[in-house]
Amino acid sequence: MSFKINDSVTWVGKIDWELRKFHGDEYSTHKGSSYNSYLVRGEKTVLIDTVWRPFAKEFVENLKKEIDLNKIDTIIINHGEPDHSGALPELMREIPNTPIYCTKNCVSSLKGHYHQDWNFVEVKTGDKLNIGSKDFIFIEARLLHWPDTMFSYLTGDGILFSNDAFGQHYASEFMFNDLVDQAELYHEAIKYYANILTPFSKLVEKKIEEVVALNVPVNMICTSHGIIWRDNPLQIVNKYMEWAKDYNENQVTLIYDSMWDATRKMAEAIAEGIKSTNNEVEIKLYNTARTDKNDIITEVFKSKLIIAGSSTINKGILYSIDGLLEMMRGLSFKGKKAAAFGSYGWSGESVAILNEELKKGGFELIDEGLKVFWVPDEAGIEKCKEFGRKLAAQL
């Protein structure tokens, strides 16, 4: 499958309808994904990125149907991660001398992945590649989300080939933003940002400001995953600027794991207490052992208060909540408040451990936390409601 984006650009990628996990087992892709590769024809012909390795042979065979491979003058690799570069070994067996334009860090990445010394041409911000009446302008975008990432801007057409930025893991036969379900699109876009780009938010802000300062038209944003932004493409850029600035919605999220339902009962009572004080705030509860971790991370990203709960087990906390807090620490959330709660029968360390992990994750603790001995009785439930009311008063 290929399709024209405009008179000079053709999509030659792969839609992966079956994909359910990404980055190993680190990211859930309930809606599949796509690996977007683009063929740009001018006086010279340029291929931008490839596809993931399992589809390499299919990619090259389909590309042959689109063009004589020997007529590809240049390959641009915006980012060396294998979901973008995985078909390079298969392709370079066919056209081994074709120059590959990429950043210095990307050369290192590609050599590290494929152990080949291809015809690399290192580029940096401001460098250009002329293809006749148009130029590609390269813009390094380090740590968005790897050190080797760059954007490629095509003059004349006003297309920004943004690689991972502004993308989503979202498979659709309608590959343009104005043709897909907007709620689905933005859910997958914010999930992508929350789970992948959050640690680099300050860099996101600076890079967007740098691109805006170029004062060039952006008529389309061609991402490496998901749909292409052609209708008001800057809408996603504006969203990124919003998400990059310590983003919060009027939401409280309770995340917990529970052995015998005592901690679950606490969570529900705390939520009831919050709601009785503030009925405008949206409250969401997630059992971390039974809910997709990336979906929870997305809700944490949207929340201004996180309340984490766990039973005490072996002087520690339950595995699922521990793993989620580890992920949250790596994402370095900013501008979010937190508190902890938990049930116990013997030693009761869980709340102290949760507090410590939340602080390591950059959350502002607004309470020392609440512990309940064994299963909460009526008095214990009331203590949980009061805890919720007290937290709500600080929002």
Cβ atoms within 10 Å of 25's Cβ, excluding its own: 9
| 294 close to 28: Cβ distance less than 8 angstroms | yes
Average pLDDT, the chain: 96
Which run of H or E residues covers position 57?
Answer: helix 56-66
What is the 3-state composition of the chain as percent helix, strand, coil, each rounded to the nearest 5? 35, 25, 40
The 10s digit of each residue's pLDDT in 88-133 is: 999 999 999 999 999 999 999 999 999 999 999 999 999 999 999 9
How far is the C-alpha of 327 from the C-alpha of 247, rounded, in Å? 18
CA distance 151 to 131: 17
Q: Is 226 left (phi over 0), alpha (psi -120 to 50) or beta?
A: left
Residue 145 has pLDDT above 90, yes or no: no
Q: Closest by alpha carbon to 262, among 332, 310, 214?
A: 310
Where in the sequence numbering do the catalytic residues fall?
A: 23, 79, 81, 83, 145, 164, 192, 225
198 half-sphere exposure, CB direction, 13 A CA radius: 27
Percent of the chain with pLDDT over 70: 100
Q: How confident is the model at residue 357 (pLDDT cuts 50, 70, 90)?
A: very high
Query: Residue holding tokens 């081994």?
Result: 96
| Interval 154-201: pLDDT, tens | 999 999 999 999 999 999 999 999 999 999 999 999 999 999 999 999
Question: Is 215 a residue whose pLDDT tops 90?
Answer: no
Compute the CA torsion angle 23, 28, 29, 31 (nearest 10 deg).
180
Q: CB pairs under 8 A, 24+ apart, for 134-142?
A: 134/8, 134/42, 136/46, 136/76, 136/101, 137/214, 137/216, 138/101, 138/103, 139/207, 139/210, 139/211, 139/214, 140/103, 141/165, 141/207, 142/105, 142/203
pLDDT tens for each residue of 220-234 = 999 999 999 999 999
The pLDDT confidence band at residue 16, using thresholds 50, 70 and 90, is very high
Longest dimension (CA), the chain: 78
Q: Round to whole Å and give the CA distance between 224 and 231.
A: 17
- Look at residue 213 in the predicted model and tell me its pLDDT: 85
How does DSSP classify residue 53? G
Q: Which domains does the chain have, with CATH numbers?
A: 3-243 (3.60.15.10), 252-393 (3.40.50.360)
Q: What is the C-alpha R_g of the chain?
A: 24
Confidence of residue 352 (pLDDT cuts 50, 70, 90): very high
Q: Quote the DSSP letter at residue 322.
A: H
* Cβ 300 vs Cβ 246: under 8 Å: no
